[in-house]
Amino acid sequence: FLKHNSCDHLRVFETNFNVNIIYRNFQSGYYPLYSQNFIRHNKNLTNEDNLLKNDQLFDFLFNLFKDQKQELNVGKFLSSLAEKGIKKTDPRLDKMVERLKAILIERKESGNIEGLTLDKDLCKSIFQENLILFSRAFKDDFVIPDFTEFCKYIEEFYWKCKANIGGKVAAYIPQLAKFNPAEYWGVSVCTVDGQQYSIGDTGIPFTIQSTGKPVNYAIALNELTCNVVHKYVGQEPSGRMFNELVLDHNRKPHNPMVNAGAIVICSLLMHLIKPEMRHSEKFDWVSNYYKSLCGGEYMGFNNATFLSEREAADRNFSIAYFMKENKCFPEKAVLKDIMDFYFQMCSLEVNCHSVSVMGATLANGGICPVTNETVITNSSAVRDCLSLMHSCGMYDYSGQFAFRVGLPTKSGVSGSMMVVVPNVMGICVWSPPLDAYGNSVRGVEFCEELISTFNFHHYDNLFHSKNKLDPRKRGFTSKTKTLNND
C-alpha cells in the first residue's frame, strides 16, 4: 500500500493515491505529521483506478471480519471500530446507520442493528462511503494508532485527579455557585481524525463562560482578518488581573482573552460583521458557528445564567464604560447591546463532548474532524487564536501554565478548560472547583499529568524525550519501555 524513499530523519511516502505524506522515523515506528490529510483521492485517477482501489480496501476490511458463512457481523464490526475511537454516533456514520436500521425493518428482525449480519455485496454497498475512514482505522493510520492504550492513560489521570478535592466554586455568579464541588468531574478527548473518548460527567451541561473567548476571537479573525481585529485589541499578556480596568500603551485592551478584550471582540461581532442583522439573528448566527465547530454535539443556552451574569456585572460594565471613554469600540456601537451579547456568549451551554470537538477543530486547522466541514476558512486565524491561548489563556497563571504544560488552553469560571494539542487532538476537562487564579484545580493537575507522561509540550523534543511517551507512534508503550530499560 505504501512505498518509501529513505532520508536521514524523515521518510517521504507515496500512496497509491499519489499524495505525499511526511513521516518521522522513531526506530521504525512511523506516524503521519498531519494524519487528517493522509489519504485523499487524486483528480488524475481514472474511474477504473478508483474502483480497483475501493475493491482492495473493501476486501481488506471484509476479510478482517467475515465469519465462516462469509458474512460480517455488524455488532462485532462496530465494537472494533469503537476501540479505534470511532463511535456509532459519529456524524460520518449517520448514513450507514440509517441504512442498517432500514435493513432491520425490511427483515422484520427484533433487536438493534448490532444483531445484523451482512453478505459481501450488501456490506460493500453500505460501507462504500466510509471505506477510507474504516481502512485507516484498521490499518492503524490514525494520529493515535493505539487509541485503546492511550485511553488507559487518560483514565488513569482521571482517577488520580478525582482525588483532588481542593478549590472553591465561583460564587460571584449565583447560578455557578449552585454546583456541588465534589460531584462533577469529566474528561473528553477528540483527535483530528475524530477518535473520541470520554470518562466521568461528560454529558452534564455547563455554561462555556471564558472558555468561549478564543472561539469568538477566531470567528472575528475569520470574518474580518487579523489587521482589522487588531486595530481594536492587542496581542500582549496584560500581567494584570483578567478583569482589571487597564489598557495597553496603545489605549487598547491587551488581548482577547481578558474581559476587556473579549467585550471588544463582541462589539466587532455585533457591529462590523453583518451589521444588517437584528440582535436575535446575530445570536443565532454566532451560535451556528459554535455548532459547526463542535460537529453537532450539544449546544444550548442557559437563560438563568445570562440573567444572573447581567445582574452581577458591575465590574464588567465599569470596564466597558472605561473603554467607551477611550474610544475602544467601533463607531455607533451601543454599549448595552454589546454587554448583553457578551453575557449571552458566556451563557452558551455546552458539555465536555462538544468542547473537545471544538478543540479538535482548532487542532485541525479549522476543519471539524467529525464532519469534515471547514468552519474556519482562514488558517492563520486558527494559528493566531492558538498563539494567544498559549500566552494568555489561563488568567494570571498563563505564564506558569505555558512554562509547565506548554499547550494552548483556555479556562472558564464554570470549571471547564479547552486544551489543544496542535495537529493531534482537543481535550475538554471540567470540574467546578477553582484555584486562586480562577482555573479548575483538577483540570490543571490533569494537564500536568498529561505533559509529564506524553511529549505533547510545545517544546518537547520529538526524538530525545527519554522519559516521555509518544502516542503518535505505533506500539508507543512497549518501545518506550525498551528504550528506558536500555
Q: What is the pLDDT of residues 282-325, one digit of tens each?
A: 999 999 999 999 999 999 999 999 999 999 889 999 999 999 99
Please give the pLDDT value at position 259: 95
pLDDT at 387 over 50: yes
Cα 278 from Cα 371, distance rounded (Å): 29
CA 136/CA 140 separation, integer angstroms = 6
Tell me what pLDDT residue 50 has: 60
Confidence of residue 46 (pLDDT cuts 50, 70, 90): low
**Can you give the pLDDT at residue 110?**
84
The reported pLDDT for the residue numbered 27 is: 35
Domain 61-138 -> CATH class: mainly alpha
Distance separating alpha carbons of residues 236 and 239, to the nearest angstrom: 9
In this structure, of 20-34, 359-373, 442-456, 469-483, the range with the lowest mean pLDDT score is 20-34
Given a cut of 70, whether residue 170 has pLDDT beyond it is: yes
pTM for this predicted structure: 0.88
Residue 39 has pLDDT above 70, yes or no: no
pLDDT at residue 148 above 50? yes
pLDDT tens string 59-78: 999 999 999 999 999 999 99
DSSP characters for 435-446? -TTSSBHHHHHH
Question: What was the pLDDT predicted at 330?
Answer: 96
Q: Is the pLDDT of residue 390 over 60?
A: yes
The architecture that CATH gives domain 150-453 is 3-Layer(aba) Sandwich (3.40)
Long-range contacts of 393-398 (CB under 8 A, 24+ apart): 393/214, 393/257, 394/437, 394/439, 395/242, 395/437, 395/438, 395/439, 396/240, 396/241, 396/242, 396/437, 396/438, 397/435, 397/437, 397/439, 397/444, 398/237
| The pLDDT of residue 317 | 96
For residue 467, the model assigns a pLDDT of 84
What are 318-333's pLDDT values in tens digits? 999 999 999 999 998 9
Tell me the average pLDDT across 158-173. Answer: 92
Q: Give the pLDDT band of residue 25 (cuts 50, 70, 90).
A: very low
Confidence (pLDDT) at 479: 45
Q: Provide the percentage of residues in the chain whose pLDDT is more than 70.
A: 86
Q: First and final CA of the chain: distance in angstroms?
A: 33
Residue 153: per-residue pLDDT? 98
47 pLDDT exceeds 80?
no
- C-beta separation of 163 from 449 below 8 A: no
- pLDDT of the residue at 239: 65
Q: What is the mean pLDDT of residues 240-250?
A: 77
Beta bridge partners of 419: 409, 427
> CA-to-CA distance for 186 and 211, rounded, in angstroms?
15
The amino acid that residue 257 corresponds to is M
pLDDT (0 to 100) of residue 12: 38
Q: What are the boundaries of each domain within the chain?
A: 61-138, 150-453
**What are phi and psi for residue 405, nearest 5 degrees?**
-105, -45
- Indicate whether 362 pLDDT > 60: yes
Cβ–Cβ < 8 Å for 24, 33? yes
